[in-house]
């Protein structure tokens, strides 16, 4: 059975699992019962019911068809389905989630964000701890250990990964063939391609001055000094550091060289790539689905590659990763059922269904991803040759992120001396980190 409801967009989602059973103290020291050692007891200490409909809320309303598909699978496999409610407006969704915890309408499951946003809910006691679930999933190889850090707060884990996205460069294969271009193996190769295309009047890269204005900053800094990149997110480095300044100057040089589209373009990037109006897009692997929906065929019309490091001496290739959480409400009456569902969600069967429904990679190496290029990328991401770097949007505390997005948007619109922008971001960073002491 499948229910649905609508808000700003609605849909359906998936079912879940049923698993073990009974209670008794699981030895986790908190006196709660557990059906399977995962701490999957409800807020009232009850064991999972074994099936039913879970209230699921997300800000990914457009993903309703994919959640529908997985919901059907989970209902068949474990007896749970989801009552899906999707929001398409981030601020409205955030306000609803926070308010819902103060009412009787608590969600069973909901999607959220890592970083500061997750810490805020944990501090308020709103999110169920998932440390035992993580231990089991990592031991079985269902969740890579590299992801644990993004879900850890004060030594414990909360939520599980809904998905992961790796940030790569998509390219139009016909544009590359027309201009005799090969996939770059080094940063210098990439710049040579961009110069060639600029000489033909074709912008190599897409960029925008709204929301995703951070993309090229993260790419350039992670590929030149990943330690500095990560130090910015912890307050251990300054935005006026010479390494950050050098990256901004490199960015400006690329803009001046004609490597980018106009930052205020209203055209959808997938349309621009499909039409050959831009040769490459720096986006997460979620973009595969957008290209496929246009009728572009992977391997024929487009492909992608991992961005080469700016600094070729780095021992590992920096690869930006984005991971969104699936969470259970701490005080929900059906918390035990929600925890059962999350146990199923991280497994190979669920992740195979989800990755292929979305046309994306999976964090679970045991999942069977049909797109060979995405499957190869997933394997590559798990090797020692790659250093996973958290996406700037999640890695940066919200007040600093707000200042940075404004600053980067202004910079790509009117490129010039980056120092006033970096000083403004650093001022916000100084105030934020001082408030945390």
How far is it, in rounded angstroms, from Cα 388 to Cα 382?
A: 9
Tokens 């059973």, located at residue: 21
pLDDT, residue 36, reads 36
Residue 404 has pLDDT above 90, yes or no: yes
Q: Which of the four pLDDT bands, split at 50, 70 and 90, describes residue 42?
A: very low
Residue 109 has pLDDT above 60, yes or no: yes
Lowest-confidence segment of 19-33, 72-86, 94-108, 381-395 by average pLDDT: 19-33
Share of the chain above pLDDT 90, in %: 75
Q: For the chain, state the CA radius of gyration.
A: 22
Q: Which of the four pLDDT bands, split at 50, 70 and 90, describes residue 285?
A: very high
Residue 154 has pLDDT above 90, yes or no: yes
Neighbours of 57 (CB within 10 A): 27
User: Domains of the chain, with CATH numbers?
Assistant: 52-164+322-388 (3.40.190.10), 166-320+392-436 (3.40.190.10)
Q: Is the separation of the CB atoms in 432 and 396 below 8 Å?
A: no
DSSP state of 236: S
**Residue 126, CA distances (Å) to 30, 44, 97, 98, 107 in order:** 17, 15, 10, 9, 11
Lowest-confidence segment of 23-37, 143-157, 347-361, 419-433 by average pLDDT: 23-37
Mean residue pLDDT of the chain comes to: 88
Lowest-confidence segment of 137-151, 169-183, 225-239 by average pLDDT: 137-151
pLDDT, residue 19, reads 25
pLDDT, residue 9, reads 31
Q: Which of the four pLDDT bands, split at 50, 70 and 90, describes residue 91?
A: confident
pLDDT, residue 46, reads 66
Q: Which of the four pLDDT bands, split at 50, 70 and 90, describes residue 99?
A: confident
pLDDT, residue 32, reads 31
Residue 405 has pLDDT above 50, yes or no: yes
Question: What average pLDDT does range 150-177 have in this prediction?
Answer: 96
How far is it, in rounded angstroms, from Cα 330 to Cα 15?
A: 20
Residue 406 has pLDDT above 60, yes or no: yes
**Torsions phi, psi for 83 (to 5 deg):** -90, 100
Residue 295 has pLDDT above 60, yes or no: yes
Question: What average pLDDT does range 188-201 have in this prediction?
Answer: 97
Residue 317 has pLDDT above 80, yes or no: yes
Length of the chain counted residue by residue = 437
pLDDT, residue 45, reads 55
Position with higher pLDDT, 204 vs 88: 204
Question: What average pLDDT does range 40-60 have in this prediction?
Answer: 76
Q: Which of the four pLDDT bands, split at 50, 70 and 90, describes residue 27?
A: very low
């Amino acid at each position: 059975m499948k229910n649905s409801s609508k808000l700003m967009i609605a849909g359906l989602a998936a079912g879940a699992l049923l698993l073990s059973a009974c209670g008794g103290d699981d030895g986790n020291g908190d006196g709660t019962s557990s059906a399977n050692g995962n701490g999957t007891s409800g807020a009232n200490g009850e064991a999972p019911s074994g099936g039913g409909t879970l209230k699921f809320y997300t800000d990914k309303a457009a993903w309703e068809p994919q959640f529908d598909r997985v919901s059907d699978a989970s209902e068949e496999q474990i007896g749970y389905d989801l009552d899906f409610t999707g929001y398409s407006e981030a601020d409205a969704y955030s306000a609803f989630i926070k308010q819902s915890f103060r009412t009787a309408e608590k969600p069973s499951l909901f999607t959220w964000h890592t970083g500061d946003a997750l810490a805020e809910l944990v501090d308020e006691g709103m999110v169920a701890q998932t440390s035992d679930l993580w231990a089991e999933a990592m031991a079985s190889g269902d969740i890579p250990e590299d992801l644990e850090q993004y879900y850890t707060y004060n030594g414990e884990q909360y939520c599980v990964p809904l998905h992961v996205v790796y940030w790569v460069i998509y390219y139009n294969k016909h544009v590359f063939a027309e201009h005799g271009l090969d996939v770059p193996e080094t940063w210098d190769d990439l710049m040579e391609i961009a110069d060639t295309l600029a000489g033909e009047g074709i912008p190599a890269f897409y960029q925008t001055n709204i929301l995703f204005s951070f993309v090229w900053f993260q790419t350039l800094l992670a590929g030149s000094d990943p330690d500095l990149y990560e130090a910015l997110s912890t307050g251990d480095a300054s935005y006026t550091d010479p390494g950050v300044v050098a990256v901004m100057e490199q960015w400006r040089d690329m803009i001046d060289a004609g490597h980018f589209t106009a930052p205020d373009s209203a055209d959808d990037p997938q349309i621009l790539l499909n039409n050959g109006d831009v040769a490459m897009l720096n986006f997460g692997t979620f973009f595969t689905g957008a290209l496929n929906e246009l009728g572009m065929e992977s391997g024929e019309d487009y492909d992608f590659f991992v961005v080469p490091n700016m600094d070729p001496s780095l021992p590992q290739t920096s690869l930006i990763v984005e991971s969104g959480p699936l969470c259970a409400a701490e005080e929900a009456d059906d918390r035990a059922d929600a925890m059962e569902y999350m146990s199923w969600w991280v497994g190979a069967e669920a992740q195979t269904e989800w990755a292929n429904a979305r046309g994306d990679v999976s964090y679970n190496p045991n999942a069977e991803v049909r797109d060979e290029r995405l499957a190869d990328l997933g394997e590559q991401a798990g090797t020692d040759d790659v250093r996973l770097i958290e996406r700037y949007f999640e890695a940066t505390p919200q007040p600093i992120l707000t200042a940075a997005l404004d600053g980067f948007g202004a910079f790509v619109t009117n490129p010039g001396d980056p120092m006033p922008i970096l000083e403004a971001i650093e001022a916000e960073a100084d105030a934020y980190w001082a408030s945390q002491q």
